[in-house]
Amino acid sequence: MKNAQLMTILFLGLLLQTSCEKKEKDNVKVSNKPLSENINMQPTVLDSNNFIGEIEGKKVELYWIKNENIQAAFTNYGGRLISLLVKNKNNEFVDVVVGFKSIKDYQNSTEPYFGATIGRVGNRIAKGKFNLNGKNYSIPVNNGENALHGGTKGYQDVVWNAEKINDKTLVFTYVSPDMEMGFPGNLKVKVTYSVTTDNQVRMEYEATTDKTTIVNLTNHAFFNLNGEGSGTILNHIVQFNAKEYTPVDKGLIPTGKIETVIGTPFDFTTPHTIGERIKTNNIQLENGGGYDHNFVLKNEKVNGLIHVGSVTGDISGVVMNVFTEEPGFQFYSGNFMQGKNTFKSGSKDDYRTAFALETQHFPDAPNQPNFPSINLEPKAVYHTVSVYKFSK
Active-site hit among 228, 325, 326, 358:
358
- Specify whether the CB–CB gap between 158 and 200 falls below 8 A: no
The CA distances from residue 12 to 1, 3, 6, 9, 96, in Å, are 17, 14, 10, 5, 50
Decide if 272 is catalytic.
no
Peptide bond into 124 cis (omega under 30): no
Residue 247 has, within 13 A of its CA and on its CB side, a CA count of 14
Active-site hit among 149, 220, 236, 361:
220
Residue 145 has, within 13 A of its CA and on its CB side, a CA count of 6
- Annotated active-site positions, please? 220, 358
